[in-house]
A and B are shown apart, each in its own frame.
Chain A
Amino acid sequence: MKSDLVSMVLRQPADVQSLTLQQWDLLIRQARKSQLLARLYYYLKEEELLQYVPEQVGWHFEAAWAVTVRHAESVQWEVKKIYRALFSVGVPVVLLKGAAYVVAGMPSAAGRVFADVDIMVPKGALEDVERALGRNGWVTAHHDEYDQRYYRTWMHELPPLKHFKRQTVLDVHHAILPETARLHPDPHKLMMDAVPLDDMEDVYVFAPEDMVLHSATHLFHDGELEHGLRDLVDLDSLLRHFSQTDGFWERLLDRAVEMELARPLYYALRYTSHLLGTPVPNDIQSKSRQGEPNVMMAWLMDQLFYRALKPDHASCRDSFTGLARWMLYIRSHYLRMPMHLLIPHLLYKSFITPYKERQLEKQAQNQPNLAEFLKDVAPENRK
């Protein structure tokens, strides 16, 4: 198997001292592809290893770090806006994933790249929440009728909303897995145990165990593993952070059983400790095997995950990597929906959606360009 320098450095940051310039080049490329360049910078800084970064390549780390600092600032800002928009609705709002890490000031936020903000609200409040967000500029990004129905009937979230001015994307969830999924962690229980934030009334983050379980579920049961290694780093960082509190591991195991999430937790503990050296105590590791699948399945999942959890870079692929990623993609859909729903959905997505998109593109070409038009009408009105 080819060399995955990112995981190597994540496991043993001090190993960077022996990297050649060519290896630094490869490390940066793999890390960029995995969205982990800024995160590596953070680890190197924490471990006081920045002096070993060759001058020629140092800027890549600093520039990537600057982007994530900015990301974190905009997430803070975005959350404030969401808070203001939803305050009047009077329902609890739980920040999920990246937004939660940033606002709760957790080490998992450092150097993390964010695509959008995710929140969870009680299902009964969805309509009010959507209306309040709409009044404040968040409108649906999916105009296709089929997409709308797909999300609203089967998924655990509204179709993604986009702020019309800032173009930021907001995902509003009411559960952590689709309604049609095979596992059913109870969203009510997650809400009940959520931890309030200090300075925003009615805004919460998940309890530590639930944060880990959500991250594990997302990566091993739901996600498409596009940024698998990045998500694994999230898990590693959450586990290291929370395990400093007494009794965390036992609570985590119990909660996993209670929430029907023993399987994703088993995978999470297995692959974080194997790939990133996460210090999971032995007894916890063996107790987590209650979530282990049968021998054949466990072997197959190893084959798939050990490939898909490498950086998605040419230097880390072997002849089976493509197949592994494809099988996990199919698996994620299979776990989301029963076959009688999944097959029509995939057919629609592969044939009808591209056709509709082509039609829309054609229409757009025939329409006069608004910007051009305005330029003609009012050429001197800039400034």
Chain B
Amino acid sequence: MTSTAERTMELTLPMVEDIEIAAARAAANLARELGMSSDKIDEMTHAIVEACINAREHSGCADNRIYLRFAGTSDSDESRIDVWVTDRGRGFDPEEARKHRPRPGEAHKRGRGLQLIEAHMDEVDISTTKDGGTTIHMAKVEKKNG
């Protein structure tokens, strides 16, 4: 089994309109280099978009920055990308957010960001503390045939 060296990338982005697209495109470029399929890349980019929007809309951070880190590897068995989206804002209670979100398939206008992230990614974990910021770590894994 030959594994590629881990490819990493870090970005610090201002919280301005549509900045989530820049983050998504950077991750998509890395995923393409690793040979990930377009459907998997699309799912990952939609999750990154939602994570960045959550940071921009809800973090209330003073520095108005989103910190992103990407790490990708590929071998004969699978390609994998890990993404960390961090803000230095007020934090939130993920369990409380999950408790109040609508059920899947129920039409609801807001509050779907975390649900979409969890649906589109293979692994999601959230580190958040009151006034200590939030990091959403998520991973996309694609198994290879044969």
Bind each other: no
